[in-house]
Amino acid sequence: MHFPLRAFRSIMKSQHTNRKEAPPAKPTACPGIKYIFSTFRIAAGNEKDDPMRVPPERTAPKPRLPFSIPILGVFFTALIIFSFIVFHVMKRPELKYDFETKQLEVELQQPYTQSVLYWNSTMNACKWPIIQPHEPEINKFIKYYRNPNCVAQIPPLASLLDDGKLLISSPVNNEKFPKIRCTMAGLSGGLYPRTREMLFGAEVEVKLDTPTPVSYDEFAVRCYNVVPSIIVNGTSKPKQEIVYEKNFVHFAPNAEKVVLADALPMVDADPERPSMVILVLDSTSLNQFQRHAPDSYAFMQENDFLTFNMYNKIADNSGVNLLPITAGRPIQRNPNSTDPEGEKVDLEETTFLWDLMKARGCVTLLNDDIDNAARGLFHYPAKSFQGFRKKPTDFYLRASHLFNVLRRQVPKTQNCLKDGTLGAIEYLDYTKRFSLAYGQACHFSFSFLTGLTHNEPSLLGLLDKEIRQTLESFFAHHLHQNTVMVIMGDHGNRISGIQRTTTGRVEERAPLFSMRIPEKWREKHPLEDKYLRTNANRLVSNFDLHQTLRHLALAGQPDTEPSNYGQNLFTAALSNSRMCEEAHIPPNFCLCMDLKENKSAEARNDTAVYQQLFGRLSQQVMALPCVKAIHWHPRYSTLQIFTLNQMVLHGLRNAKDYDKVKNVTAASDFEWVEIGLIAELQKRSAPISGEISVSVAARYRHRLSTDEYELAETPRLVEKSQICNAPNIEQMCEMCFYDNLFDPRKTSQVS
């Protein structure tokens, strides 16, 4: 709608002339319409004929605004609409005019001479093998389980109430249990040298149908038959035989009931000095977690968990990988030793993360699903570990896990217990109940779930719903405000048939590590948070992750025993030139790929495969509105072809075994091919002189069995740009071009 200049002048004139009184307004059926029409009549200079005009009082005239309110409304509405149109035309020029005709320059023999700033400052020297969670070569090894199939062999008699009291209910079917007698007894044991023994305390009789206070951290309930014979699940039970037994873990309902071993007072939870919850899933890679725990992974992405995409394990099995995580040291102190497991670790002389947290006054839990009486995180292998001589934490649950594997676990089942529950679900529940019991106090838990996923990675799906519900419970009780949460794997799967594929070789060496830090902590430490997020896409090892968790555990206190291994990921951005040797990753586990120099040299820019990939990448980049032209990149005169090293492809557990296989070439189903180009950008800011260009690189996964090339990642920028702080070309268009921000910036940026 246009607002005529003649009407505007008429308004100005009418506002400053003497007015005649109008007759009283006549009633109308549609006063709103009359009001609208009166507005236009006023604008046209016909105010005296306006039937809606109210006569003024017979007093001195009051001061009037130069515009009437309706006219101001029309004027400002038009102004807002006009501004909105101008803004969007400027933000998205395609609404106003077509872009200049784009030119795709593929004259490969004449490289583009325009300088490209900061080449290679964000590209990692470690070329990481990018694989998908659902690679076709592993399909035959993958199953998708969602519901446990555990059949109860004992009735549900005993339960631990939310207030910490024990309730043993009368049997629903009194014909099977005409009369029983029940007791509870404390559990202990599992310490060196009797690490496989579980000890029962004195039995205390418990009345049926009566909530009973519990004074034990760990205890077992037993019910006995007191009649000559009864039938339980088809089996005759003579008098005084156990017809029911189950163990429980009891966390005090409030923090005041806990007395720490070192007599320090318990401190409150604080975002600046946060609690820490670490959940370790045995044999779980990042890809495996994405594949089999999609609900949990989605929740983590939605709630700002930070996942480390280049986390490379440093050793073979659980103990040798988790000792560096929890204590910041390798098993073998002698770097020249050929046996990484050949030194006995004195656990009492080792400072763990839980020791640092306990020193702060935090209540601590070590929840190790042993799956076998001879095993345990720091009990195997025997040449390296002998177990703890004293309880390492306030709650150390080895006695409960011994009870489960010796008396409660159903043989030859996938982690089922006799009461029909899945062992891993119960052990995860220990973690949840511990944090809910001590959520207002500083607390630390380290839970290692082994039995479910150690042999069969697909069984992780049985925990997906429970992991998500546990996280949701933490958020519902506001634990996320003052608790660091970590979900990780010790390594990928080492046993299943998937391990013998190329995908399996990669997954075995690339475990899951994802963490969430309280928002208030990140707000108070923005630089540390920025470094951490940068390092999530750098090569990191177990030692780096320990240093990072140690930083949080110390909570600003001086480190009296600094580790000689690893880098604190909060204090600086890791160098993008970092390779495995610097990160203390042995070559048989190193996933940084080797450049196939001869094959790369043959893939010149005049070959069909080069031109095919260049054309495919060019088409994708040219589709972006901020790109004006594409040019050949002089640094990519050939394709760069990478592959896993032979130690990795052979699946070697120890680097010293390479001499046995070095004359045999292990096959791989994949190569990774990198290609780059220069994207010339549309200029939007007058102060910029000359052309604006950025380097773009993409990596394709070459499936050798089918000779197919698949884009492995979003095409990314490979320099630290002074004109836009964006990681890839698509985000550069969105962040900087539409908002007209293509201008030089002086501030330093972390690459």
CB-CB contact of 498 with 141 (8 Å): yes
Structure tokens at 423: 């062992």
If asked whether residues 376 and 290 sit together in one domain, one would say yes
- What is the Cα–Cα distance from 671 to 706, expressed in whole angstroms? 12
- Which of 388, 392, 401, 399 shows the shortest CA–CA distance to 187? 399
Single out the residue in 527, 544, 566 at which a domain terminates. 527
Buried b / exposed e along 440-478 (16+ C-beta atoms within 10 A): bbbbbbbbbbbbbbbbbbbbbbbbbebbbbbbeebeeee
Structure tokens at 474: 């933490």
- Which of 644, 619, 594, 617 shows the shortest CA–CA distance to 710? 617
If asked whether residues 536 and 613 sit together in one domain, one would say no
If asked whether residues 288 and 422 sit together in one domain, one would say yes
If asked whether residues 374 and 461 sit together in one domain, one would say yes
Structure tokens at 750: 């972390």
Q: How many CA atoms lie within 13 A of 347 on its CB side?
A: 20
Residue 429 in domain: yes
Residue range(s) defining the domain that contains residue 564: 528-590
- What is the Cα–Cα distance from 501 to 490, expressed in whole angstroms? 20
Residue 332 in domain: no
- Which of 577, 250, 264, 261 shows the shortest CA–CA distance to 430? 250
Residue 633 in domain: yes
CB-CB contact of 684 with 740 (8 Å): yes
CB-CB contact of 268 with 545 (8 Å): no
If asked whether residues 469 and 610 sit together in one domain, one would say no
Buried b / exposed e along 593-607 (16+ C-beta atoms within 10 A): beebeebbeebebee
- Which of 448, 192, 413, 222 shows the shortest CA–CA distance to 317? 448
Q: How many CA atoms lie within 13 A of 637 on its CB side?
A: 7
- What is the Cα–Cα distance from 75 to 3, expressed in whole angstroms? 8
- What is the Cα–Cα distance from 604 to 613, expressed in whole angstroms? 12
Residue for token pair 């399909």: 139
If asked whether residues 377 and 519 sit together in one domain, one would say yes
Q: Assign residue 660 a region: left if phi > 0, alpha if psi is -120 to 50, beta otherwise?
A: alpha
C-alpha distances out from residue 179 to 216, 228, 240, 314, 594, Å: 26, 10, 11, 57, 72
- What is the Cα–Cα distance from 324 to 565, expressed in whole angstroms? 9
Rounded mean pLDDT for each run of 10 residues along the chain, 751 residues in total: 42 43 43 35 41 45 56 70 55 32 39 34 83 94 94 92 91 69 97 96 96 95 83 68 94 56 69 98 98 98 97 96 97 64 86 97 97 94 93 97 96 91 98 95 98 94 98 98 98 92 97 98 97 95 98 94 94 95 97 97 97 97 92 95 98 94 94 96 64 88 95 84 75 72 37 30
If asked whether residues 63 and 114 sit together in one domain, one would say no
Residue 454 in domain: yes
If asked whether residues 518 and 380 sit together in one domain, one would say yes
- What is the Cα–Cα distance from 348 to 105, expressed in whole angstroms? 67
Q: Which residues pair with 246 in a beta bridge?
A: 221
| Cα 349 versus chain centre, distance | 33
DSSP code at position 157: -
Structure tokens at 590: 């190193």
If asked whether residues 561 and 689 sit together in one domain, one would say no
Residue 580 in domain: yes
- What is the Cα–Cα distance from 50 to 44, expressed in whole angstroms? 11
Query: Mind giving me the DSSP string for 607-673?
Result: SHHHHHHHHHHHHHHHTSTTEEEEEE-GGGSB-EEEE--HHHHHT-SSGGGHHHHTTSPPP-SEEEE
Helix axes 294-302 and 464-476, enclosed angle (nearest 10): 30
pLDDT, residue 308, reads: 97
Residue 176 in domain: no
If asked whether residues 538 and 575 sit together in one domain, one would say yes
Residue 173 in domain: no
If asked whether residues 388 and 371 sit together in one domain, one would say yes
Q: How many domains does the chain have?
A: 4
Single out the residue in 575, 590, 605 at which a domain terminates. 590
| Cα 57 versus chain centre, distance | 72
pLDDT, residue 525, reads: 98
For the chain, give the number of residues. 751
C-alpha distances out from residue 413 to 408, 409, 422, Å: 12, 8, 10
Total-model pTM: 0.81
- Which of 204, 357, 396 shows the shortest CA–CA distance to 270? 357
Taking every pair of Cα atoms in the chain, the longest distance, rounded to a whole number of angstroms, is 116
Strands 395-396, 640-643: pairing is: unpaired
Single out the residue in 590, 619, 639 at which a domain terminates. 590
If asked whether residues 582 and 690 sit together in one domain, one would say no
Strands 166-168, 103-104: pairing is: unpaired
- What is the Cα–Cα distance from 426 to 415, expressed in whole angstroms? 10
CATH number for the domain harbouring residue 291: 3.40.720.10
CB-CB contact of 218 with 399 (8 Å): yes
Structure tokens at 152: 């109860």
Q: How many Cβ atoms from other residues are within 10 Å of residue 96's Cβ?
A: 11
- Which of 101, 83, 207, 129 shows the shortest CA–CA distance to 700? 129
Residue 254 in domain: no
Phi, psi of 741 (to 5 degrees): -110, 15
